[in-house]
């Protein structure tokens, strides 16, 4: 059985108008099937339904170029927009030219896995009490409300792997399994783009990450993406200081440093994108095992020199080192770990936190769509939820509010908040200020909040915990 085709153009030639295509890839350019995407762009097939994690930014060889070429009429994704990165997709969505269905990341891969397994629907705690659940059937199991999600199948899937044999067996490297297995299983025709094709039997059976029964066509990569840069900066710098009452708050790196001390020894912890990723640099040799939803467990500090592996990256697409005992897996497995409660803690950023512990971190009122990502699935269990953020937004408006005005990620789930001015814990349903940043008093901190909070009898100073080397309870 020989599944090799001669070119990307040949591999996509039968994709007809109105087809649905699941395009795998997570955070890094080289993880996308760029040759297949470009071939489909050049072919010009229109009225496509694209299923993906995100479209990517303008200029990247990702599904975004199909939208820019007006080939997509429907999008099913976890991200349609990101703050500060305007795209043609947002314009088309706003104009009603592109239909959008936003799906939490873990739910997306589970829907495709279910569809490929012949499972029509399933129930999940993910998205309960959020806009995503509107209009969907809900049902109680063991006293907890669940949302029904339907299985999802597609006509085609574009995959990216390191190596394939002529029978379609695939081998991935590092964190590049991510969406590939679930997308392949859901597709009538799965097409994989690879760096190397070998004869059947040359990939040892124990290194076959996806059996060839799920793969229809294999093609060699012809389009090279930009080489990764481990020193690239994302977002605002670690040392940026926001000013309050004429005084600087703590640096972002110190927010992360304080949060690192909140993590228990011998625990598994997920770090969300943005500020939480800085925690990796402040764990040292502590027994804290880091998990990322793209499919990596046991990673270490961010890599900032040339001694990096381009297939070792976290959910932010930042390159990381590996600690002894690290492992790789696909995104379905990754979210199984999260929803089942195997993680001791989840650390995320936020736009707003409400007085009752509500979290809003995926969309703002001025965004067209938004970026749910993996957050809703990550907080669906009873894992401890720690939020890192600046105390106010860029316009000086409170982020610790009475009620969230932004769309909710989760209701009544936040346990701890660390800002550049304070550390707050939710005790018996109410937030309590346990520490403030040096140079600020509790009245100054409370003046920059909407929510009503308690104050600890023994109020601490956040920076004092650094010297102590452990959490101050």
Q: Which residues are catalytic?
A: 293
The closest of 338, 430, 421, 420 to 385, measured between CA atoms, is 338
The residues, any chain, with a CB within 8 Å of residue 395's CB and separated by 6 or more, are none
Structure-block tokens of residue 176: 């590049």
> Residues 218, 221, 226, 232: what is their CA dihedral angle, to the nearest 10 degrees?
30
The closest of 418, 432, 439, 80 to 248, measured between CA atoms, is 439
The closest of 356, 420, 345 to 389, measured between CA atoms, is 420
The closest of 159, 105, 53, 52 to 270, measured between CA atoms, is 105
With contact defined as beta carbons under 8 Å apart, do 218 and 192 qualify?
Answer: yes
Structure-block tokens of residue 217: 């066509």
Residues paired with residue 218 on neighbouring β-strands, in sequence order: 4, 192
The closest of 121, 125, 122 to 145, measured between CA atoms, is 125
The residue assigned the tokens 């046991």 is: 298
The closest of 148, 245, 272, 204 to 439, measured between CA atoms, is 245
The closest of 9, 23, 2 to 190, measured between CA atoms, is 23
Structure-block tokens of residue 156: 């085609």
Strand 384-388, strand 416-418: pairing: parallel
């Amino acid at each position: 059985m020989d599944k090799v085709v001669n070119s990307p153009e040949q591999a996509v030639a039968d994709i007809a108008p109105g087809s649905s295509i699941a395009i795998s890839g997570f955070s890094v350019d080289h993880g996308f099937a760029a040759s297949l995407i470009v071939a489909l762009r050049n072919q010009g097939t229109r009225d496509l339904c694209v299923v993906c994690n995100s479209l990517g930014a303008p200029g990247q060889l990702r599904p975004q170029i199909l939208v820019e070429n007006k080939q997509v009429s429907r999008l099913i994704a976890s991200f349609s927009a990101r703050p500060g990165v305007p795209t043609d997709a947002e314009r088309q969505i706003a104009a009603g030219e592109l239909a959008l269905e936003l799906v939490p990341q873990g739910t997306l891969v589970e829907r495709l896995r279910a569809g490929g397994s012949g499972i029509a629907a399933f129930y999940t705690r993910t998205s309960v009490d959020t806009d995503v659940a509107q209009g969907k059937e809900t049902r109680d199991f063991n006293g907890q409300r669940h949302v029904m999600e339907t299985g999802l199948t597609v006509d085609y899937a574009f995959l990216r792997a390191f190596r394939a044999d002529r029978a379609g067996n695939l081998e991935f490297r590092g964190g590049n399994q991510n969406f590939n297995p679930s997308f392949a299983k859901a597709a009538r025709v799965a097409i994989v783009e690879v760096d190397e094709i070998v004869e059947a039997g040359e990939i040892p059976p124990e290194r076959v990450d996806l059996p060839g029964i799920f793969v229809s066509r294999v093609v060699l990569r012809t389009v090279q993406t930009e080489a990764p840069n481990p020193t690239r900066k994302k977002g605002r710098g670690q040392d940026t200081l926001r000013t309050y009452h004429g005084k600087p708050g703590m640096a972002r790196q110190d927010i992360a440093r304080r949060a690192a001390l909140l993590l228990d020894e011998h625990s598994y912890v997920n770090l969300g994108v943005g500020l939480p990723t800085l925690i990796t640099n402040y764990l040292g040799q502590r027994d804290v095992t880091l998990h990322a939803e793209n499919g990596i467990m046991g990673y270490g500090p961010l890599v900032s020199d040339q001694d990096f592996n381009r297939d070792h990256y976290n959910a932010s697409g930042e390159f990381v080192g590996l600690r002894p005992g690290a492992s790789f897996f696909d995104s379905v497995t990754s979210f199984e770990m999260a929803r089942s409660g195997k993680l001791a803690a989840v650390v995320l950023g936020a736009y707003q936190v409400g007085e009752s512990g509500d979290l809003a971190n995926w969309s703002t009122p001025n965004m067209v769509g938004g970026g749910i990502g993996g957050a809703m699935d990550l907080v669906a269990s009873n894992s401890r939820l720690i939020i890192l953020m600046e105390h106010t937004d860029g316009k000086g408006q409170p982020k610790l509010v009475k009620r969230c005005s932004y769309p909710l990620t989760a209701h009544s789930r936040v346990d701890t908040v660390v800002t550049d001015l304070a550390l707050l814990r939710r005790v018996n349903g109410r937030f309590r200020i346990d520490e403030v940043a040096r140079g600020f008093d509790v009245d100054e901190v409370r003046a920059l909040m909407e929510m009503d909070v308690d104050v600890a009898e023994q109020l601490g100073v956040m920076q004092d915990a650094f010297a102590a080397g452990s959490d101050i309870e």
